[in-house]
Amino acid sequence: MAVYLGKYRAIVPIVSYKWDESIGRQKNSYFSVRLKVINKEKSVKVAICDDSLTEIQYTKEQLENAYKSLDLLVTSFQDGRELINSMNQTSYDLIILDIEMPGLDGLAVAREIRKICDKTAICFLTSHVEYSLKGYEVNAIRYLMKPVKQEQLSEVVNYLLQNNAKGKKIMVKNEEDTLLLETETILYLEAQNQDIRIVTSTGEYLKRYNIKDYEKELQECFFERCHRSYLVNLAHIRAITGKDILLDNGERIPCSRTKEKALKDALMTYVKRSAV
């Protein structure tokens, strides 16, 4: 059970299975709970479903090691029916699902999940390669062999982050219409007094807004602050040259010395994720 503290932060129990008489027993295994404070709005909700506690803990550790800087809210299940029931109250960004479970197997669970939600990413785990073709009927994004490797889970989360960033839009108004701009088409944003100049691949727009708020809202879409007045889309950077950033449309925008290292680090992370 998670205890929420206001709008932005939560205390989340993360289960580690081991002997602890003071806490209790669950499915023939002992468990303890440690609490981790996370940012709810930037967390990635993951469900792991496997009939083996050992496999759950191993997968969870590999996932957390792959993304130590990412807030992962991990919920584990040993029974597919419990996972299905939980989805009536909770949504997940990613479900890591064992194929071979007694009773309701992973494919059957995935079919029921698709009746509830067709957007949640599903990644199957198995010990037998012959199951891999069956995952396509439930639109699984990956099929991983046990024991799962940290690099493979990194690829899954990278894919998830890239796809979550796609399709996000910003609403702007001109003299006649209200428009929805896809963030992928935005090259950069520039603060101009109380307005934000939004430059896209096809034009530019002005909106009354705060660049600090856009910096928070567009972080998951791979935008990075490169100057006190500029927020750049990493996908459109061609080069960082001295005090300037060269964009793929040939335009140059400033990069402050204090922001340069963080920008280059963010760009390197983006390139690695895009290469998956």
Number of domains in the chain: 2
Among 117, 143, 165, residue at a domain's last position: 165
Q: CATH code at 213?
A: 2.40.50.1020
As a whole number, mean pLDDT of residues 4-12 equals: 33
Q: What is the pLDDT of residue 269?
A: 78
Query: Same structural domain for residues 70 and 130?
Result: yes
Confidence of residue 198 (pLDDT cuts 50, 70, 90): very high
Higher pLDDT, 276 or 218: 218
135: domain range?
41-165
pTM above 0.75, yes or no: no
Q: In this structure, is residue 92 part of a structural domain?
A: yes
53 and 135 housed in the same domain: yes
22 falls within a domain: no
Assess whether pLDDT exceeds 50 at residue 15.
no
Looking up tokens 């046990």, which residue turns up? 146
Range of lowest pLDDT (132-136, 169-173, 248-252):
132-136
When pLDDT is cut at 50, 70 and 90, the band that residue 191 belongs to is very high
CA separation for the pair 32, 25 (Å, rounded): 9
Domain termination residue (choose one: 165, 189, 218):
165
Let me know whether 150 and 55 are in one domain. yes
In a domain, 31, yes or no: no
Q: Judge contact between 107 and 138, C-beta under 8 A.
A: yes
Q: Are residues 79 and 118 in the same domain?
A: yes
**157 and 121 in a common domain:** yes
Confidence of residue 210 (pLDDT cuts 50, 70, 90): very high
Residues 29-88 pLDDT 10s:
323 233 333 333 357 889 999 999 999 999 999 988 877 767 788 999 999 999 999 998
- Does residue 23 have a pLDDT over 70? no
Gap between the Cα atoms of 84 and 96, Å rounded: 13
Q: Which alpha helices (DSSP H) does the chain contain, by range?
A: 53-66, 80-86, 106-116, 150-165, 211-217, 257-274
How does residue 12 score in pLDDT terms, banded at 50, 70 and 90? very low
Please report, for the domain that includes residue 157, its CATH number.
3.40.50.2300
**pLDDT of 10 strictly over 80:** no
Parallel, antiparallel or unpaired: strands 237-241 and 244-247: antiparallel
* Domain end position, chosen among 165, 200, 230: 165
Question: Strand order in 29-39's β-sheet?
Answer: 3-5, 9-17, 29-39, 25-26
